[in-house]
Amino acid sequence: MFDTLKRDVYEACLQLPRSGLAILTWGNVSQIDRKNEVIAIKPSGVPYDKMKAEDIVICDLQGHVVEGTLRPSSDLDTHLVLYKAWPQINAIVHTHSPWATMLAQAGQDLEALGTTHADTFFGPVPCTRALTQEEVEGAYEAQTGQVIVETFARRHMVPEQVPAVLVAGHGPFAWGGSPGQAVENAMILEQCAWMAVIDHLIDPAIHPVQPFLLDRHYYRKHGKNATYGQR
- 103 burial level (CB within 10 Å; 0-12, 13-18, 19+): buried
Residues annotated catalytic, as ranges: 119, 228
Phi, psi angle pair for 228, to nearest 5°: -75, 145
Type of residue found at 198: I
Task: Please give, one letter per residue, the 3-state secondary structure of the chain.
Answer: CCHHHHHHHHHHHHHHHHCCCCCCCCCEEEEEECCCCEEEECECCCCHHHCCHHHCEEEECCCCEEECCCCECCCHHHHHHHHHHCCCCCEEEECCCHHHHHHHHHCCCECCCCHHHHCCCCCCECECCCCCHHHHHCCHHHHHHHHHHHHHHHCCCCCCCCCEEEECCCEEEEEECCHHHHHHHHHHHHHHHHHHHHHHHHCCCCCCCCHHHHHHHHHHHCCCCCCCCCC
Separation between Cα atoms, residue 34 and residue 39, nearest integer Å:
8
